[in-house]
Amino acid sequence: MTDKPTYEALERRVTELEESNFELKRAVEPLRESEALFRNLFERHAAVQLLIDPHNGNIMDANGAANAFYGWTREQLRQMRIQDINTLPRQEVKMEMEKAKTKQRVYFEFQHRLADGSIREVEVFSSKIQVKGSDLLHSIIHDVSARKQAEKALRESEQSFSQLFESAPVPMAYASDVDGYKETTWNEAWYHTFGYAREQAEGRSGDDIGLWVNSADRNRFIETANQQHYVTDFETLLRGRDGAVHNCLLFGRFIDKTGHRLLMAVYLDITHRKRADEEREKLQAQLSQAQKMESVGRLAGGVAHDFNNMLGAILGYTELGMLRVSPTDPTYGTLADIQKAAQRSANLTRQLLAFARKQAVAPKLLDLNETLEGMLKMLRRLIGENIDLAWLPGKDLDPVRMDPSQIEQLLANLCVNARDAIRDTGKISVETGAVTFDEIYCAAHVGSVPGKYVLLAVSDNGCGMDAETRSHLFEPFFTTKAVGKGTGLGLATIYGIVKQNNGFIDVHSQPGQGTTVKIYLPRNTAETGRTTKKKDAAQAAERGHETILIVEDEPMILDITTKMLEHQGYTVQAAATPGEAIRLAREHAGEIHLLMTDVVMPEMNGRDLAKNLLSLYPNLKRLFMSGYTADVIAHHGVLDEGVQFIQKPFLVQALANKVREVLDEPK
């Protein structure tokens, strides 16, 4: 039989049990406090929190923030599995929970479905915990839908920017101010414009690749951008990969891109526009010059016409006076001086008429080489023995259609100018050749016309001319010679003659490097016609006996011309108007062999008068006279076919020869 414990033993046992229970209480109390703290944090935390069984995905618990976010009650959530919320396939959700359980992964990005059916982007932070001896996943869920949307918008914006940047039709570039704009990104249009391959320039600055012709411009561009935050119409020169220089306008502005401050630049290549502007200015200057020349030409033509009438009277009366005075008479010398002065004045008016394209010409088909060779002897006397004249004829030249006297004027004026440009000894070259100009050449050389031409070039190794002198070269009365050494009409005459014959001129000259004047005359491939050999001007014409009707509205010209013709033996009927001429013709009893009439008159022009009188005298020969060739009998100064013309002023001998030539012309 077992002894009963004593009272003292029982008391000791009770004391031991009380002490053990106290220790247990002391051990459990912190655990209870920890659980209470976790529960409090779990329940009251603003973040969405779930406790999930990783084996099956059951939601073991959810906090108040989860109720508010998902829209289900706590009880409803406890009856759901995480697979009901996560939009991933169930098997994938299970695999992700395994990663969280084994701590292979603690951060996830998912899409969760809410009670209203909407989908939200969430970040999930999961960790394994033990609750009452069971492993659970403690998941903290953050709604990042707004951030994700912003990131998506940013990505789309970045993508749009990149697409716009790359596909922009104009060259563009951007660089960060963080690295001092050293790393630059260029778009496709920039590579195309400046000729670089992407690997040659991507990430490199304009300085690195030698883009800036003037590096100071680069610094000024950035400085302006920093001061104003933008740059507009910044004109500079940029060099392409092939070394070609581009005129460019730059536009710059600071932009924000992914949190960085970038300097965006747009390049406009205005090289062609600058060239076009320069060409337009050049064309405008040439147009203004042409208009000025045309105006001066009209003025010159009008002055020459009126002046010729006065000179005609002076020369005519002077010459008749000289015929009546003995050469030994002192008066004869005075009259001779008057005649010389009047002839010099007449020469000036002829040059003015040539410039104004009012000079009467009778074009013929000419072999230019043959014509020039016949002038070489005269030219050598003209330029003097101290200057060498080189004749360089081209081969197989087509003929030109031109008045031979104009060829003589061209060459004489050019050689005189060349001679005067050579101070002591030197060389003048006269060259001919065949040239063809296409549309490309003519587009770059204003005034030229596509076609085939015969070249006449005169070159010298004289003093040359600067640009300012060349710009006034063809203006009448412009001269660089000393006072009394030149009239300034030589090149103006050349200009008029060339334009009258549908040609054009190029002048190449630099100070100290001589001058070359190139004249291009249209080729004419028709067969060369026969030319009638005229009487030598110095040879006296046969005296006449025919009857001439002269019509002139200028009284002095009518009087002196009548006296000149009567001096040659002709019978003259003089009329001051076309009406009076018709009356005289009707009243005249005999034959009228020649009508000599002014071209421009009151009542009726000379050509219409001639047609009127032909009804009375079918065999009537006609000779027109004028200070210049009006369009009545000529087109741009070129006499109509079959028209006989004498230009005022004329001398007795010239008139006698011309009248005889017309009267002796076959019917």
Write the pLDDT tens digit of every residue in 173-228: 888 876 677 778 899 999 999 999 988 888 888 888 989 999 899 889 988 988 88
**Burial level of 354, CB count in 10 A (0-12/13-18/19+)?**
buried
- Model confidence at 364: pLDDT above 50: yes
Percent of the chain clearing pLDDT 70 (strictly above) = 81
pLDDT digits (tens, 9 = 90+) for 600-622: 788 888 888 999 999 899 999 99
Contact, 249 vs 233, CB < 8 A? yes
Percent of the chain clearing pLDDT 90 (strictly above) = 24
Q: Quick one: how far is CA 519 from the chain centroid?
A: 26
Q: In what helix (H) or strand (E) does residue 134 lie, and over which residues does it extend?
A: strand 134-143
CA of 535: how far to CAs of 258, 541, 657, in Å? 97, 8, 8
> Which amino acid appears at position 81 of this protein?
R
Higher pLDDT, 13 or 45: 45
- Model confidence at 518: pLDDT above 80: yes
CA dihedral in degrees (414, 417, 423, 427; nearest 10)? 0
Q: Please tell me the distance from the alpha carbon of residue 476 to that of residue 464, in angstroms, as a whole number.
A: 19
**Burial level of 116, CB count in 10 A (0-12/13-18/19+)?**
exposed
Contact, 519 vs 657, CB < 8 A? no
Q: pTM for the full model?
A: 0.44
- DSSP lists the bridge partners of residue 635 as 638
Q: Please tell me the distance from the alpha carbon of residue 613 to that of residue 582, in angstroms, as a whole number.
A: 7
- Model confidence at 536: pLDDT above 50: no
- Measured over the CA atoms of residue 352, residue 353, residue 357 and residue 362, the dihedral's sign is negative
What pLDDT is recorded for position 129?
A: 84
Contact, 207 vs 188, CB < 8 A? no
Q: Please tell me the distance from the alpha carbon of residue 605 to that of residue 361, in angstroms, as a whole number.
A: 20
